Structure 1
């Protein structure tokens, strides 16, 4: 009996192993992908491990990101006795395998059980370009997605039992989500709204449970924000107001959905309509289930989170300025959105009485899904062919690893006089390749006081990477119009200057 219990998840285990192997393939050539965010996480993890501090490579406190993912990397550093960059492929492979396995557990507990549906969804997760992208990099989304799925498991237990231990366990998982990514507040919103909408509980009990969940789940985030404020004066770092209106963000949201569906950019003009159609459809389904007191299911929790997270990204992108709405930002909702848009299909097919119509609907659904899998497989194959030749885009690809300027920085680490400030358009690259700590990023144009302070500096070095072209910060032309820079070294892809008043 016990053996049968474990054997029924053998298909989920196979899918998890396939996901682990996929990450191994993508990281085999150049190692795990490294971006500026990755260097923030890794440098903080190193400082946690070596000094017990939450400082990044530039000597400042970690405020732009919550603390849990760097802490997780520092734990992995202890376990593997090696740097997270070296073992990033293994770490992410295990995380992706865990995500796939938990997804399989969730699907196996749906009200309308279908082994074919489970296999197809697991295959879609394994082959998903969105998932393979984030698990190819050292990004906090890799851990965040897993904590989301664990919250769904825990919160469903609360909806079933309505006990205090189940509520507090769900709140604990939600609290961990919040200190993995600040967007984890969507988990608090999901849980709080679902408690308030739970018609099976008396109103007073709903209010008490909702208040308890809200306080318990936000406590770790509150501590993190207080520490940030005390160390830097800012709770989440400097944030600029958005420059993209809601309508534009909605369009970008829709283009990501088009990409996830494997569609070409020919359908981009209809992207906003697709986004509205999906979100409104999911909201309508939740309202109907709420009125019928049918929110007590894994499917409802999954759908609720997908809607809350999607709306949160649209709103926050309209209020605050960060990178354009893209697949990475929306990736935490990919699995939940995939399930929310498809879980009802097996149940609808099962209700078809006529045998011929039943098999026709079943066959059509499987063919459509197989066509989707075939399409995204070719997208993955093209990406793999590119990255097998050049590496994963970012600081681990050949443009950086074979760069003459990077080689120069690695072999001339002592060319800077101690005590003189070093500025750069990529301070994280100086740390990652040259081991230079304490370098500063050139100021953003938006923050006029920072720009003025920079121009008042009397002596500094400037390390300029020629191919980056970050329009957000002041560039070499801006500086040379105001200051006379002495060029110390000049290579094809970078140069080093010195300014002395």
Structure 2
């Protein structure tokens, strides 16, 4: 084979090889974490999801055993989407429900990688390195519905961008409608997604594109009607629309709520390691925080020499859509959490905010032309930041303990 075509083929496949290596590394680390973790990365919510999946396997339908073991209750505290997916994959793969949930999360992760490859093949491995952040490694290690939820948000952003760019509009609108339904079936907060086609429809109606606006409004109304019917069925089956009276619990004082919110937001954007008051002094946290700030300063300095970054971001519809979806989700969570006391505002609730925001911002960076060495260096500095985070998610105490046993 002549040298030049060989080099061209090698250059074209290098990004795919790096993307594949990154996926294999992340998958291996997640499996390792799951195997050495005391609980196998299960929480009470995880047990509920697995319980319904197992009940489906045993032919008991959408019912789970109640707390005292004397009967079964209709599964309505959470939507049925995630446990049904676990059940279906368990039936297909012949794995038990526990390992089905873990392998399914790796499949969701792989689908996210493929979506990012579709967006930007040359630097998909840098976009996908976002998954190496502490937050998302936790999400994909646990049996949590946030794993498919993040994928759904990414799909929603891509489809919305298709409509914005006037690409396969009718098909994209239909898929947006289905994606919104899926997001609701995975998490009740997924109803926030109905606002995406509704707001987009409002925009096009304002631009006098009424036919397109009506189609988008329908893509919001259909999921809303579906959600209403689903919640009404919950009420008929259990007496509550979402399993129990969510307004019954006392919420925090405004001051405590603000403190919780600020702590959650800070931790969400501390990519490498989160702050935990009970672990102080945490010298590794101090070191990684300084390192992140230095890398962010380096990236900012390199890009600023050649581009006005926020102007570049505004030029990219996909980036704006990602940020917009993240903000819309955040507003929905704030409203619900201010009136209902459920989980704290930590990485689990805030990951659907930070994930699309990170993807949107980094997409802008990786799509900048490689005309300047500074820009290329900034791109690889982003990769380095998330790879450091990924490596630090390896269970260090377990590894050190095993090494000490060898000596």
TM-score, scaled to structure 1: 0.62
Unaligned runs of 5+ in 2: 1-8, 67-71, 277-285, 290-309, 402-407
The answer to whether the 8 Å contact 1:262/1:375 transfers is no
CA displacement, residues 422-443 of structure 1 (integer Å, 9 cap, x when unaligned): xxxxxxxxxxxxxxxxxxxxxx
Superposed counterparts of 1:287-436, under 5 Å? 297-346=317-366, 358-363=372-377, 365-366=378-379, 368-373=381-386, 375-381=388-394, 384-386=395-397
| SS in structure 1 of the partner of residue 113 of structure 2 | helix
For residue 172 of structure 1, report the CA deviation from its aligned partner: 0.9
For residue 378 of structure 1, report the CA deviation from its aligned partner: 4.9
Query: Kindly tell me: are residues 179 and 301 of structure 1, through their superposed partners in 2, closer, same or farther at Cα, counting changes over 3 Å?
Result: same
1:89 maps to which residue? 102
CA displacement, residues 433-467 of structure 1 (integer Å, 9 cap, x when unaligned): xxxxxxxxxxxxxxxxxxxxxxxxxxxxxxxxxxx
Q: Which one has more relative contact order, counting CA pairs under 8 Å at least 6 apart? A: 2
1:243 maps to which residue? 252
Alignment partner of 1:120 is 2:131: no
For residue 133 of structure 1, report the CA deviation from its aligned partner: 0.5
The answer to whether the 8 Å contact 1:40/1:57 transfers is no
1:171 maps to which residue? 177
The answer to whether the 8 Å contact 1:302/1:340 transfers is yes
Residue correspondences, number: 349
Query: Kindly tell me: are residues 157 and 121 of structure 1, through their superposed partners in 2, closer, same or farther at Cα, counting changes over 3 Å?
Result: closer
For residue 40 of structure 1, report the CA deviation from its aligned partner: 0.8
Match of 2:135 among 102, 125, 130: 130
For residue 64 of structure 1, report the CA deviation from its aligned partner: 1.4
The answer to whether the 8 Å contact 1:130/1:334 transfers is no
Match of 1:156 among 155, 161, 165: 161
1:101 maps to which residue? 114
Query: Kindly tell me: are residues 69 and 387 of structure 1, through their superposed partners in 2, closer, same or farther at Cα, counting changes over 3 Å?
Result: farther
For residue 264 of structure 1, report the CA deviation from its aligned partner: 5.5
| SS in structure 2 of the partner of residue 15 of structure 1 | helix
RMSD: 3.4
CA displacement, residues 30-57 of structure 1 (integer Å, 9 cap, x when unaligned): 5842111011111111222322521123
2:266 maps to which residue? 255
**Structure with greater strand share of residues:** 1
Match of 1:45 among 40, 53, 59: 53
The answer to whether the 8 Å contact 1:178/1:220 transfers is no
**Structure with greater helix share of residues:** 2
CA displacement, residues 448-493 of structure 1 (integer Å, 9 cap, x when unaligned): xxxxxxxxxxxxxxxxxxxxxxxxxxxxxxxxxxxxxxxxxxxxxx
For residue 348 of structure 1, report the CA deviation from its aligned partner: 6.0
CA displacement, residues 78-133 of structure 1 (integer Å, 9 cap, x when unaligned): 1122321144432222222222222332344xxxxxx35x33232232x2211111
Unaligned runs of 5+ in 1: 109-114, 268-284, 391-501
Query: Kindly tell me: are residues 367 and 169 of structure 1, through their superposed partners in 2, closer, same or farther at Cα, counting changes over 3 Å?
Result: closer
| Segment drifting more, 17-26 vs 154-163 | 154-163
Match of 2:149 among 144, 148, 157: 144
